[in-house]
Amino acid sequence: MGATRKLASLVLGSGQGVPCLRVDDLDRAVRFYRDRLGFAQVGLLGGDQPHAALCTDERRGGTVLLARSEGTAEGEGTGAPPRRRSDQAYWDAVFFVDDIDRVAGELRARGVRIDVGIGVSALSGRMLEICDDWGNRLAFAEAAGAWRPALRQFTERVVPPRVRTAARDHRFAREERAEYARFERFYASLPSHRDPVYMFFTSGLLHWVIAAERHIPAAVNLVLFGSGLTGEEQRWLCENLDRPVYNSLLEIDDNTAWEFLFDANRTNFGYVDIDCFVLEPEVFSDLASFDEGVAVNAIWTYQAAPGVPIGCTHLVFLNAAVIAELRARKRYLSPANHDWHGSRVSLLHHRTYCRIPTSAQRRLLLEVLPADERGRPRAPAEAPFFDTLVGYQIAAAATGYRTHAVRPLAHRTQNMFTEAGETDKPVWQQDLSDELVHVGGISYYSRYFHASTLRKLYLAAEYSVLCESVARLPAGYRERKATIERQQRDIGLDPAAAREFIQRHLVTDRGLDPGTVERIVGAVKRAV
């Protein structure tokens, strides 16, 4: 008991509060927190029959009190959460750390599953969440005053962006050069170059590929563009989908994939997201047909400046002749992200970063966009950076070309929500129709700390799609299904009700016809 009192004195003497977590198997919980989470210093409370344990991680300075649930004998736990979960987002314990990347690496090395993050929350710009076997949700957040973010901020203040990012950009470009050569050879080997439509995705998303691909007619020249796919995933695609498949051995993000497409394609080409459901085949032929003076045919659009619409990348077609002309006239801007700091956007992908426009490109953007207080063009809709394909479309507009809305579906930016204020009826970011349904953010939603209502919709949507194909997919997808089932229960949604929940949302909140919804999620009824 002396060591325990010393440990308690050390913790309480520092004025630090200690979260108390309920567990139904104290012995197993101590092993989990000590061996898997790194709370290595343990003091048992209660003599010969301990009822609680004080566990401390001396390196990170965190402490937690594990208390056995009353009425549960040691070793007789059911494994169920010790109390009823609610649909409100909260954490049972939060630990502030200096280096969130190191913490994430250590957790993964010890086999701990990270449920959300590293991502953005109201509490921290870089945070992750895990859940223990007893339903307790723990968050690790990078402290604002920690040495790593402080060093980042200092470096950003004193080192010019181009100098600071030069080594990184050079390294990435060198790594991507060999991969692009592979992709160019793949493109040359395609049986048809007639209006190819590319679908880009990373590992773990085959269920979304299947769900979107089944609505795309065989006549559409769809090319599946994967990145970092496992051997099992590559074999599954080749054996089950009659579409050309390319897998980038280098794990790239969609920005790099877009640059590959712009560099390799010699004819007009399209792009469709894995979570975009095209329910009317005629949409593809309409997208592939270009009017005079059109650089981009898009579905979801918004105004970048008065009279200058630009399209989102979810479903678009690109005019290859315009791309070639902008290059020749030196008025070209990469389709990738841009900002003035060369920022990393790790929320989207660990390789996602912003390119910095040159002085000439800056002047080009100012032909269309208003200037900020430093004379730089403002990103449309007050966005923190120029998103994928935005800079290219602005450059095209400055050269006399336009983006055409093939279907006038609105994309609402953040400042549109601010200007609209509060309304009685929810306003969603994008319009949906009985022809076109786009989920949005499905490849990275688990890295963002959404409000519980929105997270519930994401989990229900993914579960509904996954249930339909999981029996046919590689084994890892069954583990993903079990994880989503647990996450749904944690947030107050019965997995058995997920299909009805998402169906009700699409019909009641989004105004889709029940028949349309049945085409998207109807088959799930038989699989759940």
pLDDT tens per residue, range 487-503: 899 888 999 999 999 99
Whether residue 126 is found in the same domain as residue 216: no
Q: Is the dihedral of CA 458, 434, 499, 234 positive or negative?
A: negative
Residue 106 lies in a domain: yes
Torsion angle defined by CA atoms of residues 151, 152, 158 and 160, in that order, rounded to the nearest 10 degrees: 150
The per-residue pLDDT for 496 is: 95
Residue 58 lies in a domain: yes
Whether residue 247 is found in the same domain as residue 357: yes
Torsion angle defined by CA atoms of residues 30, 31, 34 and 40, in that order, rounded to the nearest 10 degrees: 80
Query: Could you give phi then psi for residue 269, rounded to 5 degrees?
Result: -145, 160
Residue 424 lies in a domain: no
Give pLDDT < 50 ranges for the chain: 1-14, 78, 80-84, 86-88, 523-528
Whether residue 201 is found in the same domain as residue 343: yes
Whether residue 395 is found in the same domain as residue 459: no
pLDDT in tens, 51-74: 999 999 888 778 999 999 865 555
Whether residue 268 is found in the same domain as residue 411: yes
Which of helix, strand or coil describes residue 485?
helix
Q: Which residues pair with 277 in a beta bridge?
A: 437
Whether residue 147 is found in the same domain as residue 165: no
The per-residue pLDDT for 8 is: 45
The per-residue pLDDT for 528 is: 30
Whether residue 71 is found in the same domain as residue 182: no
CATH number (domain holding residue 106): 3.10.180.10
- Say if strands 62-68 and 20-23 run parallel, antiparallel, or are unpaired: parallel
Residue 96 lies in a domain: yes
Whether residue 118 is found in the same domain as residue 247: no
Nearest one of 302, 273, 299, 255 to 414, comparing CA atoms? 302
CATH number (domain holding residue 274): 3.90.550
Is residue 177 within 8 A of residue 187, CB to CB? The reply is: no
Whether residue 72 is found in the same domain as residue 142: yes
The per-residue pLDDT for 524 is: 40
The per-residue pLDDT for 192 is: 85
The per-residue pLDDT for 419 is: 53
Whether residue 225 is found in the same domain as residue 146: no
Residue 322 lies in a domain: yes
Tokens of 254: 């969609």
Residue 443 lies in a domain: no
Q: Which of 362, 392, 416 is the last residue of a domain?
A: 416
Is residue 459 within 8 A of residue 467, CB to CB? The reply is: no
Question: Measured between alpha carbons, how far is 307 from 321 in angstroms, rounded to an integer?
Answer: 23
Q: Which of 124, 151, 178 is the last residue of a domain?
A: 151
Residue 439 lies in a domain: no
Domain that holds residue 457: 449-527
Whether residue 167 is found in the same domain as residue 298: yes
Based on the structure, what is the number of domains in the chain? 3
Q: Which of 397, 416, 435 is the last residue of a domain?
A: 416
Tokens of 401: 């070309």
Nearest one of 396, 389, 391 to 376, comparing CA atoms? 391
**Percent of the chain beyond pLDDT 90?**
63
Whether residue 143 is found in the same domain as residue 190: no
Residue 143 lies in a domain: yes
Is residue 481 within 8 A of residue 126, CB to CB? The reply is: no
